[in-house]
Amino acid sequence: MSEATPKQFVAVLDFGAQYGQLIARRVRDLHVYSEIVPCDIPADELAAMKPSALILSGGPASVYAEDAPSVDPAIFTLGLPVLGFCYGHQIMAVTLGGEVAHSEVGEYGPATIVRDGESSLYVGTPDEQTVWMSHRDAVSRVPEGFVVTSHTDVCPVASMECAERKLFSTQFHPEVRHTEHGRRLLENFLFDICGLDATWTMDNIIDEKVAEIRAQVGERKVILGLSGGVDSSVVAALVHRAIGDQLTCVFVNHGMLRKGEPEMVEEVFRDQFQVPLVHVHAEQRYERLLAGVTEPEEKRRRIGSEFWKVFFDEAQRIGGVEMLAQGTIYPDIIESGARKTGGKASTIKSHHNLIPFPEGVHFDLIEPLDHFFKDEVRELGVALGLPDRMVYRQPFPGPGLAIRIIGEVTSEKLEILKNADAIVREELDAYNERLFEETGERNSEHSCWQYFAVLPDIRSVGVMGDERTYARPVIVRAVESSDAMTADWAKLPYDVLGRISSRIVAEVPGVNRVVYDVTPKPPATIEWE
Ligand code: XMP
C-alpha cells in the first residue's frame, strides 16, 4: 500500500473472486477509498495498513478443499467491522467456529431472500428481495454469538451477523447489479455500521495527490514520457498541477499516431496547460528502424526499446532530472500478479524493473495513478480539464499504426492509413453521435466501441475513370464490446459503410477498394497485426 492511501479505507481481502475488483470499485463508487489485498495477509501486516473496515470477497474454491484459500483468524480480533460475501461468508463461518456443508442443490443466478429479524445491514430494504447467488456449499451452523438474518428456500443462512462485533456476511453478492438492494446494503455497512464518510471525491483526490506529489518531489526535476494516451496525459496534467515547471514532458513522436494526435498533444499541453514540452521528431529514426521488418512482434519490440533510448537521450540532454513520472494504473499492478507473488511490494518492484534504465542511469519513480481504475483515471482527467477527445480516446496499441500496417511499414503506407483511418473515425464518430441522440445512451446496443482502418500488404486491380489501377485495399474494422476481451463486429447500416467506402477511394490516393471485417472475437482478435 502506498503512503498515499487516505486515512479511511476499506481493504478487500481477495479470495480469487471473479468479482474482486468489482467490490473495490463499488466501494469507491460510494466515495470511500478501497484497495484489494491478498486474502492470506497476516493480521499484523493488515493492521499496519490501518484499514477502517474489511470486506472478504467471494472465491471459486470450497472452504474444505485441500488448498482452499484461508485467512489469518486474528483478522477477526482487530476490532474492525467485517463484511463477507459468498466464500467470504463461508470462511467467516468456519474460521469462527460455525459449519459449512455441501448442499444438495446449488443456487446460481437470481434468488429471493426472506429476512429473519432486524439487521442494521438491511435498513431501508424490504423483507423479501432479489439477490444474486452463485454457490453450492452453504453455511449450516452459524458461529457462537451470530444470528441468521435471512434465508432462501434452499439456503438456511443467506446472511448472518454478530452485530456486537460488527461482523456481517451474506451468501449472495451485494456487489453485483442483479442484487436489487446491493448498493443500499453496502451503504448501510460503510456509513451506518462503520461510520465512514463519503469523502473520496475527485476534488479531494486531486488535492490529496497534489500534496503527496509535492512532498515526494520536493525541489527535484521530473520527466515524463507523453504517448498521446489517456494514462500518461492524466499523470502529466496532475503532476503539472502539483509542481508546475519542475515537470518536463517528452513527447516521442514515432510517426505512428493517428492523424491529428501529435497536434492534439501540442495543443493541450503546450498551449492549454503550458507545460514545458519537448516534442522529439523521431519519425525518420523510426522509419529507418522499421525498414524491412514485417514480423509484428519484432515491430513491437523495436518500437518499445527505441522509445526508451530516445527518452533517456532527451533526459540526459535536459540535465539534472532525478525523477520519472509514469502512468501506471491499478489494473497494471493487479494483473502483473500481486496475488501470484504474494504481495504488492514484490510486484511493484518487478514491474519497475521492466524499465530498461541504461548503465549508470537511475530515476526515482512517481506513479500517482497506481491505485486508480481506468474509469477513475478518465474522471480525474476530466476534473483536471483535459479535453474529452483525449480522455475518452479509444484503446490504441502502444506501437500505434505500425501494427495496423501488415508487412513492412513505409512512409507511403503510413500516409494512406492515416488518411483512411481519419475518414473511418469521422464517419463512425458521427454515427455514434446519431445513436446517442436517438437512444440517450453513450454505449447503446449498436454503437461502435472501437473502430479503425487497417492496411493489408496486397494490391488488387480496379478501374478509376478509364484507367486501370493496381492499388491497395483498406480494411475497416468496427466492433461492439465493453472490455475488448470479446467483441462482435458492428452491424453498421449499409449507407454508413457505403459512405466510408466512397470517401476513402475518392479522398485517399493509392486505395481502390474498401472491405469490412465481419469476424467476431473470438475467433479473430480486434486488431490485425
Ligand atoms: P486484440 O487485438 O488482442 O486487442 O483483440 C484487444 C484490445 O487491446 C488493444 N491493444 C493494445 N492496447 N497497447 C494497448 O494499450 C497495446 O500494445 C495494444 N495492442 C492491442 C486493442 O486495440 C484492443 O482494444
CATH node for 9-193: 3.40.50.880
Strand 511-516 and strand 467-480: pairing?
parallel
Nearest-CA residue for atom 16 of ligand 1: 397
**pLDDT over 70 at 345, yes or no:** no
Per-residue three-class SS string for 294-328:
CCHHHHHHHHHHHHHHHHHHHHHHHCCEEEEECCC
CATH node for 410-516: 3.30.300.10
Could you tell me the sign of the dihedral formed by the alpha carbons of 328, 332, 337, 339, in that order?
Answer: positive
User: How far does residue 478's CA lie from ligand 1's centre (Å)?
Assistant: 14
CB contact at 8 A, 380 and 202: yes
What is the maximum alpha-carbon separation in the chain? 90
For the chain, the domains span 9-193, 202-391, 410-516
CA of 528, closest atom in ligand 1? 2
Encode 460-498: b = buried (16+ Cβ within 10 Å), e = exposed: eebeeeeeebebbbbbbbbbbbeeeeebebbebeeebbe
Residues written for the chain:
529
Smallest CA-to-CA distance from 10 within 48, 50, 45, 39 is with: 50
pLDDT for the residue numbered 173? 95
DSSP symbols for 422-443: HHHHHHHHHHHHHHHHHHS-TT
Lowest mean pLDDT among 328-337, 420-429, 482-491, 514-523: 328-337
Nearest-CA residue for atom 10 of ligand 1: 397
93 three-class SS: helix
Question: Residues near ligand 1 with C-beta < 6 Å?
Answer: 395, 397-398, 450, 484, 521, 525-527
522: preceding bond cis by omega (within 30 degrees): yes
200 three-class SS: coil
User: How far does residue 482's CA lie from ligand 1's centre (Å)?
Assistant: 13
DSSP 8-state assignment for residue 128 = E
User: How far does residue 398's CA lie from ligand 1's centre (Å)?
Assistant: 8
List strand residue ranges (DSSP E) for 124-282, in order: 128-135, 138-141, 147-151, 159-162, 167-170, 221-226, 247-253, 277-281
Query: 494-507 and 411-439 are packed helices; what angle lies between their axes, rounded to 10 degrees?
Result: 150
Catalytically annotated residues: 86, 173, 175
Distances (CA, A) of 394 to 40, 484, 521: 37, 11, 17
User: How far does residue 264's CA lie from ligand 1's centre (Å)?
Assistant: 22
Give the model confidence (pLDDT) of 392-450 as tens digits.
999 999 999 999 999 999 999 999 999 999 999 999 999 999 999 998 887 777 789 99
Question: What is the grid cell recorded at 289?
Answer: 528502424
Helix (H) or strand (E) holding 452: strand 450-454
Question: What is the grid cell recorded at 343?
Answer: 504481495
pLDDT for the residue numbered 352? 56
Q: Rounded mean pLDDT of the chain?
A: 92
How confident is residue 337, by pLDDT bands cut at 50, 70 and 90?
low
User: How far does residue 520's CA lie from ligand 1's centre (Å)?
Assistant: 15
The CA distance from 182 to 129, in Å, is 10
| Cα distance between the two ends of the chain | 37
Residue 376 vs residue 447, higher pLDDT: 376
Phi, psi of 165 (to 5 degrees): -95, 5
The CA distance from 83 to 190, in Å, is 10
Nearest-CA residue for atom 14 of ligand 1: 397
Mutate to test the pocket of ligand 1, among 300, 303, 396, 479 (most ligand atoms within 8 A of CB): 396
Would you say the pTM of this structure is higher than 0.85?
Answer: yes
CB contact at 8 A, 89 and 113: no
pLDDT for the residue numbered 65? 87
Nearest-CA residue for atom 20 of ligand 1: 397
Mutate to test the pocket of ligand 1, among 404, 526, 528, 529 (most ligand atoms within 8 A of CB): 526
**pLDDT over 60 at 347, yes or no:** no
Tell me if domain 9-193 and domain 202-391 are identical in fold: yes
Q: What is the mean pLDDT of residues 217-245?
A: 97
CATH classification (class only), 202-391: alpha beta
